Amino acid sequence: MNRRLRLTAVPYALYALIFIVAPLLLILYYSLTTGQGTALSLDNFRRFFDPRDTVYLRVLWRSLWIAGVSTAICFVLGYPMAYILSQMKERTRNIISFLFILPMWMNFLLRTYAWMTLLERTGLINTVLKSLGLPPQEIMYTAGAVVLGNVYNFLPFMILPIYTSLTKLDRNLIEASEDLGAGRAVTFFRVIFPLSFPGIMSGLTMTFMPAVTTFIISKLLGGGQNALIGDLIEKQFKVAGDWGFGSAMSVILMVLILLSMNALSRYEKENAGGGLM
């Protein structure tokens, strides 16, 4: 039986080897080579962390900052919405959940272009402001516009995992808390919120990762004035033709994402069930 199970796993192992492991190894190999030859070198990484030219580090910091702000806003907006959804009747919450998922069926690029028509100087927002006698605002090509684009595109990635976690809570624990005299606020912060940590961690990860690696949103809504690390990686491959340096930046970003995921995973394990102790 075990042999049969191993045989059925062979196609998946081959898929992972060809389409996941091999590309990652190629990126790692390119990051350790330069245009002068095939000899292994750390020059690409030294170039990125060169203290005499901190432009790349500043872009990395800007990317982490914008992604962090976007993720925080998504959490502040997403958790209450997920909680409200979990308290609705099944038919109603299924309909509203579908409405959250519906925009994701549209092409990502089209959704971002739609925000350009809203935020530009002659767009809908400024048109409304003018009709109210208020001065138009310069929203496009700012860090705020990039954050707005991130929040709009990635908010469902925050809501859905938390919503799923909340709907799977054991209602007996909530009833027991209320029977013991705990009010709604105490029950929420001591029972519901700690038990929803797996959904929160999934939402934070699924929101932060695309927010820190995006380049379309920063290119269209930031206008190149708020370039993120994704923009630099794209330019290295498509414009500069420096695959080695682009791969090195990809590896650095990958390591940072893995470290952040590991930190979130440890925090989740340390606090799992903490509100019930």
232-274 pLDDT, tens digit per residue, is 999 998 888 889 999 999 999 999 888 888 887 777 676 655 4
Number of domains in the chain: 1
Structure tokens at 155: 């908010």
Residue 76 lies in a domain: yes
Contact criterion met (CB below 8 Å) for 154 and 109? no
Contact criterion met (CB below 8 Å) for 78 and 203? yes
Handedness of CA 116, 119, 120, 125 (dihedral sign): positive
Confidence of residue 36 (pLDDT cuts 50, 70, 90): low
Report the CATH number at residue 168: 1.10.3720.10
Rounded CA gap, 267 and 198, in Å? 10
Range of the domain at 69: 52-276
Q: Is the pLDDT reported for residue 58 higher than 70?
A: yes
Residue 24 lies in a domain: no
Give this prediction's pTM. Answer: 0.86
State residue 102's pLDDT score.
83
Confidence of residue 275 (pLDDT cuts 50, 70, 90): very low
Residue 44 lies in a domain: no
Residue 10 lies in a domain: no
Rounded CA gap, 172 and 169, in Å? 9
Residue 233 lies in a domain: yes
Residue 250 lies in a domain: yes
Residue 244 lies in a domain: yes
Residue 38 lies in a domain: no
